[in-house]
């Protein structure tokens, strides 16, 4: 059996679900455009540059979850899936996942589990390794729990997930990780077959130097 790991944002999705969730809330008037939009773009740019402070970002991103009921958030998420996420899921991405339907598959993402859980289910992927959220009485507190699934944290979280199942990397016939981002270099470097998917400039350069596979899954966006 193979172990097949997928990043989510800008890899399986043709876009960034974390960024689009905040934009969705802004467009609905749930959070202030003046207060949130500029910061949302700044965090996205920092992520793309490989310089994101994950703790600062989580404080920003998770605060709105603590200000509304779980039922209301779930209703908004249903709409978010239709308006923002469905257009970012291509047939090519669905077919890529289906290629590995008989293998052990997981999405490994820094984006929180509230946003990404329904997206993983839409892809038919059972296992999700995401940044986990603290809850009290079924409601979100606005804080994360455990190690965020980001940079080296992805390696830690994947190893813990495998260990919980009594497995390890060296037990698989082949290990693969698909990602677009230089932030994912720690996990890309420990699998047998790293695949750069529509990679950012830094990852593209690194992948070419190391003769990694490069997959153009999504059409190039006009600048």
Does residue 7 have an active-site annotation? yes
Catalytic residue among 9, 14, 16, 184: 9
Rg (CA), the chain: 17
Does residue 53 have an active-site annotation? no
Query: Structure tokens of 114?
Result: 């509230």
Catalytic residue among 7, 16, 18, 180: 7
Distance in angstroms (rounded) separating the CA atoms of residues 214 and 155: 21
Segment (H or E) for 135: strand 127-136
Segment (H or E) for 142: strand 139-145
Give me the sheet containing 127-136, strands edge to edge: 139-145, 127-136, 104-112, 2-6, 174-179, 193-197, 213-215
Class of residue 113 by CB neighbours under 10 A (exposed 0-12, middle 13-18, buried 19+): middle
Distance in angstroms (rounded) separating the CA atoms of residues 144 and 131: 7
Q: Residues 50, 182: contact at Cβ < 8 Å?
A: yes
**Which are the catalytic amino acids?**
7, 9
């Amino acid at each position: 059996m193979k172990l097949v790991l997928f990043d989510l944002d800008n890899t399986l999705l043709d876009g960034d679900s974390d960024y689009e969730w905040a934009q969705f809330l802004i467009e609905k008037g749930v959070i202030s455009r003046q207060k949130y939009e500029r910061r949302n773009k700044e965090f996205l740019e920092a992520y793309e540059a490989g310089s994101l402070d994950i703790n600062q970002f989580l404080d920003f991103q998770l605060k709105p979850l603590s200000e509304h009921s779980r039922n209301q958030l779930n209703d908004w998420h249903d709409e978010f899936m239709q308006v923002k996420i469905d257009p970012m899921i291509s047939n090519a991405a669905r077919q890529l996942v289906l290629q590995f339907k008989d293998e052990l598959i997981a999405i490994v993402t820094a984006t929180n589990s509230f946003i990404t859980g329904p997206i993983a289910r839409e892809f038919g992927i059972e296992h999700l390794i995401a940044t986990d959220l603290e809850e009290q009485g079924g409601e979100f507190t606005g804080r994360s729990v455990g190690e965020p699934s980001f940079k080296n944290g992805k390696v830690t979280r994947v190893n813990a997930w495998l260990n919980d199942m009594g497995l390890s990397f060296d037990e698989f016939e082949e290990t693969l990780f698909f990602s677009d981002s230089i932030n994912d270099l720690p996990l890309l470097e420990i699998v047998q077959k790293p695949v750069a998917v529509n990679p950012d400039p830094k990852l593209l350069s690194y992948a070419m130097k190391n003769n990694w596979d490069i997959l153009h899954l999504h059409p190039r966006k006009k600048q």
